[in-house]
Structure 1
Amino acid sequence: MMRRKSFGAVMIAAIAFASFAIPVLASDQELATGERLAAVLRAGRSVISNHQSLINDESIAEKNLPGQRVVDEALELYAQREGKSLEPENLSDLDKQLFEAQIAAMREIVDENQDLIDAEGIGFKGFIPAIFARLVNERFAEKVGNLAQTKVTAPVDIVRNRKATPDEWERNVLESKFQTSAWERGKPYFDEVEKNGKPAFRMLIPEYYSASCLTCHGQPKGEVDVTGYPKEGGAEGDLAGAISITLFR
């Protein structure tokens, strides 16, 4: 009897340990949702980047860059990059809600900044991709923050805005995964952890400096760029930050 009892106790302990040690795997749906939210945000940010010369043209008062135009161009760019258009009718009810909230956030942020965008006699407006993305993410959280959150963050030594400072989970992933030579370039990291006291699927997608980023983030390190921040001294291909996605379960 003692031997049977010991064996049973060992089996129970082993099962309990296995249950604790093996996290719940993300569903294909969660991965697809996270990747789509990041891709749409990137597309919107790229549209703002592509229109910087127009936005900062002090000789033009009417830029003809309303929120709907930015949204339309972002979805077109998304389709080019992904090889397929984004059809809301093919999304689940939850994904459609998140998509509509993200698109509405983009449209609203651009429309609310029309006076700045159209300001005549002012060159650099400060309405840059990073600011646009942060404002969109904040508006997205206002709309559906109990369901999902998006954020652009970066390693603590190069993050510029305190609102973008990585939380403990993001910092750990950046430092122990993305900043190591062993990590596969571009590979996202995901896990199931608690956030704000709620179980959540969390995903971090690395981003790297492109040539266009180096105007503000390149050499010489420490030189003040057009936005008023010291340059990070980065090089093309260096880790620039990450898009953080949270889907509450």
Structure 2
Amino acid sequence: MEALTIFARNCILAVLSGCMLLASPVAAEEAADVATGTRLAELLRAARSVLSNYQTLINDPAVADKHLDGERFTAEAIALYGKRTGSQLISNDLAERDRKLLQAQVDAMREVIDEHQDDINRPGIAFKGFVPAVFARLMNEKFAAKVGNEALVRVTAPEVLVRNRKSLPDAWEAKVIEEVFPDPQRPKDDSYTEVTEVNGRPAFRMLLPEYYTDSCLICHGAPKGEIDVTGYPKEGGKAGDLGGAISIVLFQ
């Protein structure tokens, strides 16, 4: 298991550009899974960032039509993905599986945005509750409805930080969060991978840690216990603290 983790760390920067040379079919399959998982996670992160950047507009009670429909949103998310990774999202160079899964993510985010137009454009109300965490959960649920027999994506967190029970970590995720990520000898940003079983099926699993940034602390920072804008007590977190993880499942 640790060997696969080291392998993932060594190839994480190369997988998006497809520039690795591999020594065996097993290594090639592992690298392909790491690449796929990384792409799915990065597209989810890009989509969340776009929604985060629009929070001020979405929550402006004086503006009705925000002109933020699914088409505009997905175009900006894809552009941000390209800017961050240096790679085109869906190209002929990708395997058929990757093209299918990434397109499912794009379709999922577009549908979520289009289905929430009434909330986004509701005048006279400031905070709409349509925050990145809610958006990500809805996007991942739609993704599962489309291709859940092939792949799953979800955002989880240490159990004490979970606000929605749907996001509670399963046993595998909890073990990685509690035993692997805190290891001081482990590079902080490394993902963790393992071939195991999910729902009785062989699966490649990948968990990517996420740490609080300054923007997260508006809801998750100090003072601990103070009620934030969403109605939850703040966790008292600091920038750089582990705040969550993106969990990827690729069925084999």
Q: Which residue of 2 aligns with 1:196?
A: 199
1:43 corresponds to which of 18, 41, 46: 46
- Runs of 4+ residues deviating >4 angstroms: 20-26
Q: Which residue of 2 aligns with 1:226?
A: 229
Structure with the greater alpha carbon radius of gyration: 1
Q: Which residue of 1 aligns with 2:74?
A: 71
- Tell me the secondary structure at the aligned position of residue 196 of structure 2: strand
Q: Which residue of 2 aligns with 1:148?
A: 151
Residues 53 and 21 of structure 1, relative CA distance in 2, 3 Å threshold = closer
- Tell me the secondary structure at the aligned position of residue 197 of structure 2: strand
Q: Which residue of 2 aligns with 1:27?
A: 30
Pair 1:86 & 2:85 matched: no
Q: Which residue of 2 aligns with 1:55?
A: 58
1:172 corresponds to which of 170, 175, 191: 175
Q: CA deviation at 1:21?
A: 11
Partner Cα distance (1:35, 1:230) in 2: 32
Partner Cα distance (2:184, 2:220) in 1: 21
Q: CA deviation at 1:113?
A: 0.2
Residues 21 and 96 of structure 1, relative CA distance in 2, 3 Å threshold = closer
Q: TM-score, normalised by structure 2?
A: 0.88
Percent sequence identity over aligned pairs: 55
Q: CA deviation at 1:22?
A: 8.3
Partner Cα distance (1:144, 1:88) in 2: 19
Cα deviation per residue 1:119-176 (whole Å; 9 max; x = unaligned)? 0001000000000000000000000000000000000111111000000000000000
Q: Which residue of 2 aligns with 1:158?
A: 161
1:236 corresponds to which of 233, 236, 239: 239
Q: CA RMSD in A?
A: 1.6
Q: Which runs of 5+ in 1 are unaligned?
A: 1-19
Partner Cα distance (2:91, 2:124) in 1: 40
Q: Count how many residue pairs are aligned between Structure 1 and Structure 2.
A: 230
Contact 2:61 2:126 in 1 (8 A): yes
- Tell me the secondary structure at the aligned position of residue 90 of structure 1: coil
Contact 2:90 2:99 in 1 (8 A): no
Q: Which residue of 1 aligns with 2:9?
A: none
Q: TM-score, normalised by structure 1?
A: 0.89
Q: Which residue of 2 aligns with 1:133?
A: 136
Partner Cα distance (1:234, 1:131) in 2: 20
Q: CA deviation at 1:79?
A: 1.0
Q: Which residue of 2 aligns with 1:120?
A: 123
- Tell me the secondary structure at the aligned position of residue 248 of structure 2: strand
Partner Cα distance (2:199, 2:55) in 1: 37
Partner Cα distance (1:239, 1:165) in 2: 15
Q: CA deviation at 1:70?
A: 1.0
Q: Which runs of 5+ in 2 are unaligned?
A: 5-25
Residues 22 and 128 of structure 1, relative CA distance in 2, 3 Å threshold = closer
Residues 118 and 21 of structure 1, relative CA distance in 2, 3 Å threshold = closer
Q: CA deviation at 1:92?
A: 1.2
Partner Cα distance (2:2, 2:73) in 1: 45
Residues 54 and 27 of structure 1, relative CA distance in 2, 3 Å threshold = same
